[in-house]
Chains A and B, each alone.
Chain A
Amino acid sequence: MSPKSSPQEIQDRIFEQLLDGIESSLPEALAADSRADGEDVEGVAEKTKLALLSGVRKFTQKKLDEARRNHKARTRLLSRKVIELPPSPLERRTMLVSWAQNSNVQLTARFRDLSSLTDDDVTSALEELMQLEELEKAESKTDDNSR
């Protein structure tokens, strides 16, 4: 042992060279030596593959959890929002007609003839539309933040 080098330094050098040696070794040579030593190389390989695949699963799960958290946050935001609609049925119907005329969204058959809708239908439709607008705003905000 060199008197100038600490045991830690010597260890570091030994293992650095060992790792370089493994890196430059042919996989088949490493496997052959281990088999000759009686090691279950196939078993080790299987375990190693499972470890790598487990890493992939953890990554995928992390993404899913992130998506769930974002969805929950958006839902909470929506539930807190107070929907303010015009006070009278006529004002609400006018609002819905105006939205239908200005919007690019294709309405379902039920809503195409707005004059046939009841006041309750009009109110429900407006509430849904306002919630959807908030959802889109929230998603747009989340997308901006994640960039």
Chain B
Amino acid sequence: MNESVAKKSKEMTATPEEILQAIEALTVAELKKLNEYARIAVFALGRYAGVTDADDLLQVAIQRVLEEKRHWKPAKVDFVGFLIGSMKSIASSWKARTKRNPPAIRESDLLEVEEGAALNPFEVAADPRPGALKELLDSDLPTQEWLVQEIEALFADDPICSLILGAWSDGENGPTIMTTLELTRTQYDTAVRRIVRKIHRRWPEGRPNVT
């Protein structure tokens, strides 16, 4: 990028004061939308979440903007869209990082035996993996499959939502579904919002722990 383009790009980037003003200027509806997005994003992250709730994700998103890890150019994107983009990016990097660094078995957890000593069969039989007790307790937790079935069951009496969920599960996206089911944009969006609200009502405290 040459100097004049870089300078122009920098000039178009919002200052911290402009970002603060933008927050103050958000309408009730826009704030609600940001909250809705953050709640579902944290729900979706589940065990990948580096934060506990929607407010935490929003705080991290705005800090990233202020730390200039993400540059807001008001002429190009509205503030709500920009913050949603920031949350999307954060969620994606958390998920990728957790997938790259799964928990490992440490050498210190392995059984140590003195040379020549008789082995205690109970000790040998013991599970040396770290958190064996945790795993046992986790086995009482519902599974991912259960969660999917619970979500689907919420819409047993709602054919449109049920069909949309089924199509999503099969990897189809909004435009394709609208065409297939002959839905208008408004009908599709209304159904999506219905799905969101039912999930919130079913799990008001957020995603349940699943294995």
Contacts and interface: CB of A to CB of B under 8 A. Distances in A.
- The answer to whether A and B come from one shared complex is yes
Interface of A: 1-2, 5-8, 10-31, 33-34, 37, 41-42, 44-56, 58-59
Contacts of B49: none
Interface stretch (B4-12, B21-29, B108-116): B21-29
Interface of B: 16, 19-20, 23-24, 26-38, 40-41, 43-44, 46, 54-56, 58-63, 66-67, 80-81, 84, 88, 143-145, 147-148, 151, 165, 168-171, 173-174, 188-190, 192-197, 199, 201
A52 B57 CA distance: 9
A58 B87 CA distance: 17
A124 B23 CA distance: 52
A30 B192 CA distance: 10
Contacts, number: 166
B84 A23 contact: yes
A102 B28 CA distance: 63
Contact of A54 (B16, B28, B59): B59
B28 A31 contact: yes
A55 B62 contact: yes
Contacts of B173: 17, 20
A127 B54 CA distance: 55
A13 B59 contact: no
Contact of B197 (A14, A33, A42, A59): A33
